[in-house]
Amino acid sequence: MKNKYPFVFVHGMFGWGSAVGLDKVSPYWGSTTGNLMKHLTDCGYECYSASTGPVSSAWDCACELYAQLTGTRVDYGAAHSKAHSHERYGRTYKKPLFEGFGETKIHLIGHSHGGQVIRLLAHLLTYGDEAEKAAAAENDLSDLFTGGKGHLISSVTSICAPNNGTTLYYLAEKANIIHPVARAIDFAMAVFGRTFIHGRLVDYQLEQYGLTPLRGEKKADKIITAMNRMRDTDDNVLTDLSFKGAYELNRKIEIAPDINYFCYTSNGSKGEKHKPQNIKFPFLKPLSSIIANKDLPSQQYGLTFDESWRENDGLVNTPSGRNPIDEPAKEFDGNIEPGIWNVMPVLIGDHGQAAGLFANKEKLHGFYGNLAEMLVSTEKDADFIRNIR
């Protein structure tokens, strides 16, 4: 293989990984262009597509991702589980995502909410979590929360991630539709999570809330009981998309000094009026217009909004996809330093194209081929890194 350190890809909201049946029908990574994981493997790169809760919080997803990497039971943490009134333990992975984690570094690549997930995982592996250390006895504490394992991560690459939130959540909150939308999502997943398609075609991974059954271990809670548990918590993906949720997440996460960080953001709007001319997915066109034309807040949780925040990819404001505002960053200049965000050139297109949805196959493969080449070059401490677009 060309890469010494495996690539681990993490999907975004409503997404899925290779372990989910739907991926065989419609791969998340590659989508309408074909299976990106297979393409990269055929090109000589070792890569894996992880599966985390499609509507779960970055914290819960990070815990699930760690359990997949290690082939262990999901431990959401004693303190976190108590604070959010859900079960501490989730499913058990009988074997790891790949053999050798812990003996080699990995590259983490996250699209959309997956970018927030991998940032949090890198933080927890590096620094651990003091609240979890205080809440559990030493022999009852997940290795994820002990820290001292940042050396297992070579790089973190976020692609179209809402690192600083999105105005879509702000506008939906002003319109008082956040809670109805959340309840509709909960209900749909509670219902379909009890049908034959769950575990075969889809996997919602909401056992901690009793919304889906823990396979082979216990039945799901009654639908209304489970939904009531979800109703009273902000431990979900929608919260992470808000300015407040992103702010709280950014306050928790600390950049690691020995990890290479890269962030890509995208822009599908064009011209002074930011028309959605480069938005290919029809569903995203009206959302892009809403972001571009509705009133912006003046300030929110340390963010100051100017006209550049009207640029967007249909879901995420282009400036939000850059580095978290409280972490050091520089425009990518070919020289890669660990412990600082390399802000990469803006991608032209919508939120889904970055993962392959309605994308140009040649351009998509070129982008991920160049990204893979760059990440591999950091393993060799190369002096020159080719600028990639």
Segment 30-54, tens digit of pLDDT: 999 999 999 999 999 999 999 999 9
Least confident of 20-29, 205-214, 225-234, 372-381: 225-234
With cut-offs at 50, 70 and 90, classify the pLDDT of residue 274: very high
With a pLDDT cut of 70, the percent of the chain lying above it is: 94
- Respond yes or no: is residue 198 known to be catalytic: no
pLDDT at 263: 98
Least confident of 9-13, 77-81, 190-194, 280-284: 190-194
CA 286 – CA 336 distance, rounded (Å): 38
Average pLDDT over residues 296-306: 92
User: What would the mean pLDDT of 342-368 be, rounded to a whole number?
Assistant: 98
What is the structure's pLDDT at 218?
57
Place of tokens 């809760």: 53
Residue of 388, 342, 378, 386 whose CA lies nearest to 2: 378
pLDDT at 389: 36
With cut-offs at 50, 70 and 90, classify the pLDDT of residue 131: very high
Q: How many Å is the Cα radius of gyration of the chain?
A: 20
**What mean pLDDT comes out for the span 278-302?**
94
Q: Which of 112, 266, 289, 320 does the annotation list as catalytic?
A: 112
Per-residue pLDDT at 209: 84
Single out the residue of 107, 118, 36, 105 nearest to residue 369, CA to CA: 36
From the list 84, 274, 351, 365, the catalytic residue is 351
* Confidence check: pLDDT of 14 > 80: yes
Higher pLDDT residue, 214 or 385?
214
Confidence at 198, pLDDT banded by 50, 70, 90: confident
| 124 burial type by CB count under 10 A (0-12 exposed, 13-18 middle, 19+ buried) | buried
pLDDT at position 18 over 60:
yes
Asked about 221 being catalytic, the answer comes back as no
* DSSP H or E run through 284: helix 284-293
Q: Are 328 and 341 in contact (CB under 8 A)?
A: yes
pLDDT at 191: 79
Domains in the chain: boundaries:
7-379
Closest Cα to residue 354, out of 100, 79, 113, 47? Answer: 113
234 included as an active-site residue: no
Looking at residue 225, what is its pLDDT?
72
pLDDT at 387 over 90: no
343 in helix, strand or coil? strand
The reported pLDDT for the residue numbered 92 is 93
How is domain 7-379 classified at the CATH fold level?
Rossmann fold (3.40.50)
Mean pLDDT to the nearest integer, 160-172? 97
pTM: 0.94
Task: Provide the mean pLDDT of the chain.
Answer: 92
User: Is the model more confident about 133 or about 223?
Assistant: 133
pLDDT value at residue 187:
83
Kindly name the residue from 313, 320, 350, 365 that is annotated as catalytic: 313
- Whether 213 and 193 have beta carbons less than 8 Å apart is answered as yes
Distance CA 305, CA 298 (A): 6
Residue 343: the pLDDT is 98
For residues 142-154, average pLDDT:
97
More confident residue, 244 or 230: 244
